[in-house]
Amino acid sequence: MNNTIQKQASHWVTRLHSADCTEAERYAFDDWLAENETHSVAYQQVLTFWQQLADIEPHAGVELEAARAYLRDKRQARRPFSSKRAATLLSLLLVMSTSPFFWSWLHTQNYHTAKGEQANIELSDGSHIELNTDTELSVQYTDEARNVKLQHGEALFTVEHNSAKPFAVTAANGVIKDIGTRFNVYQQAAKVSVTVLEGEVSITTVNNSTPHNVKPNQQLDYDNNGQLTPVSQVDVNSTTAWQKKLVVFKAQPLSIVIEQLARYHDVSLRIADPRLQGLKVSGVFPSDDLSVALNTIASALPIKITSTGAMAFVIQAAD
């Protein structure tokens, strides 16, 4: 069956289910149906799919509501959704519905934050995800599992435990599985840091298939090759200070401090003299006020910070 006939069938299903379908259109449909028996077959296939769309509702309510909100926005903007566009969309859905990727897409919701932005997401099962600055992740819920893919950035997970429907976070080459817990995942360029606040998680990587358990006030890192570092004790309040728009440094090199501050601002921060990179910084700084953070650091170290543009600064040794 060629695509032209399928598109025609989609058009007729759309029109016949429209409130403004005219009597003349119904007669034209009857004529089209009588032209060739393949028309009847195509119409029944599209009609069946149309009717089955209602079956998606129990499994993808959140995603469908997002789609409905999009369509409402279009209507409020007075951009007409013509029968021709509806028929084209229906044809596309008919083709995509035969692919497993369609169903994967249907169950997946994407979230992201810009630099300096944070977001709080409430999932359908009562779990929560808090996104820190410059973070992107996707959430896929199915009947068997709850899967999150962290593309980059940092997120704090508060999980409603359900042994029949496990919750897992994939970050780089590792998988973090919840055992009823709150945990923070920070995916950096060269490593992923997993910090547990409550409960417990198990971590596996491409090079370590044996689960490594991490408990409260503990952190485990792994690199992009899946190599694990030993579990360490950490101050979770410092790890999650970003929730209060704060960053905490305890004898951290200036190079690391500048890198961390740059996460929250669309800014260029450059250390002109490499000898300054190892200077140690300690303190609590606001993540949302770059001027205060830089001035505080400059007052505590033998450095000066000079503006070289609207959002560009160079760090040099003090005179």
| CATH assignment at residue 294 | 3.55.50.30
Q: Please write the tens of the pLDDT for every residue from 108-143.
A: 788 999 999 999 999 988 999 999 999 999 998 877
Tokens standing for residue 300: 């505590």
Mean pLDDT, the chain, rounded, equals: 84
Q: 0.85 exceeded by the pTM?
A: no
Residue 54 CA to its chain's centroid (Å): 27
Rounded Cα distance between 90 and 59, Å, is 20
Q: Are residues 73 and 136 in the same domain?
A: no
Q: Are residues 177 and 86 in the same domain?
A: no
Q: Are residues 170 and 266 in the same domain?
A: no
- Is the pLDDT higher at 43 or at 2? 43
Q: Is residue 141 a contact partner of residue 123, using CB atoms and an 8 Å limit?
A: yes
Residue 40 lies in a domain: yes
Which residue range forms the structural domain that includes residue 186? 108-235
Q: Which residues contact 211 (CB under 8 A, 6 or more apart)?
A: 177, 202, 203, 204
Kindly provide the b/e burial profile for residues 67-78, where b requires at least 16 CB atoms within 10 angstroms of the residue's own CB: eeeeeeeeeeee
Q: Is residue 107 a contact partner of residue 63, using CB atoms and an 8 Å limit?
A: yes
Q: Please write the tens of the pLDDT for every residue from 4-33.
A: 787 788 778 777 876 667 888 888 899 999
Q: Are residues 37 and 131 in the same domain?
A: no
Q: Structurally, how many domains does the chain consist of? A: 3
Q: Please write the tens of the pLDDT for every residue from 57-80.
A: 454 455 445 544 444 454 445 445
Residue 53 lies in a domain: yes
Question: Which of residues 89, 106, 123 is at a domain's end?
Answer: 106
Question: Which of residues 180, 200, 235 is at a domain's end?
Answer: 235
- Is the pLDDT higher at 157 or at 54? 157
Q: What are phi and psi of 60, to 5 degrees?
A: -140, 40
Rounded Cα distance between 301 and 187, Å, is 29
Residue 70 lies in a domain: yes
Q: How confident is the model at residue 161 (pLDDT cuts 50, 70, 90)?
A: confident
Among candidate residues 130, 138, 131, the one with its CA nearest the CA of residue 115: 131
Residue 240 lies in a domain: no
Question: Which of residues 47, 72, 106 is at a domain's end?
Answer: 106
Q: Are residues 130 and 231 in the same domain?
A: yes
Residue 16 lies in a domain: yes
Q: Are residues 114 and 102 in the same domain?
A: no
Task: CATH number of the domain at 117, please.
Answer: 2.60.120.1440
Provide the edge-to-edge strand list for the sheet that holds 268-271: 268-271, 312-317, 303-309
Rounded Cα distance between 89 and 262, Å, is 42
Q: Is residue 291 a contact partner of residue 310, using CB atoms and an 8 Å limit?
A: no
Rounded Cα distance between 36 and 264, Å, is 63
Q: Are residues 97 and 52 in the same domain?
A: yes
Give the start-end residues of each E strand in the chain.
Answer: 108-112, 119-122, 128-131, 136-141, 146-158, 167-171, 174-178, 182-187, 191-198, 201-205, 208-214, 218-223, 232-233, 246-253, 268-271, 280-286, 303-309, 312-317
Q: Are residues 116 and 193 in the same domain?
A: yes
Residue 110 CA to its chain's centroid (Å): 4
State the amino acid at position 199 in one-letter form. Answer: G
Q: Are residues 115 and 212 in the same domain?
A: yes
Q: Are residues 227 and 259 in the same domain?
A: no
Rounded Cα distance between 66 and 63, Å, is 5
Q: Please write the tens of the pLDDT for every residue from 196-225.
A: 999 999 999 998 889 999 999 999 999 988
Q: Are residues 10 and 128 in the same domain?
A: no
Q: Are residues 36 and 119 in the same domain?
A: no
Helix or strand or coil: residue 71?
helix
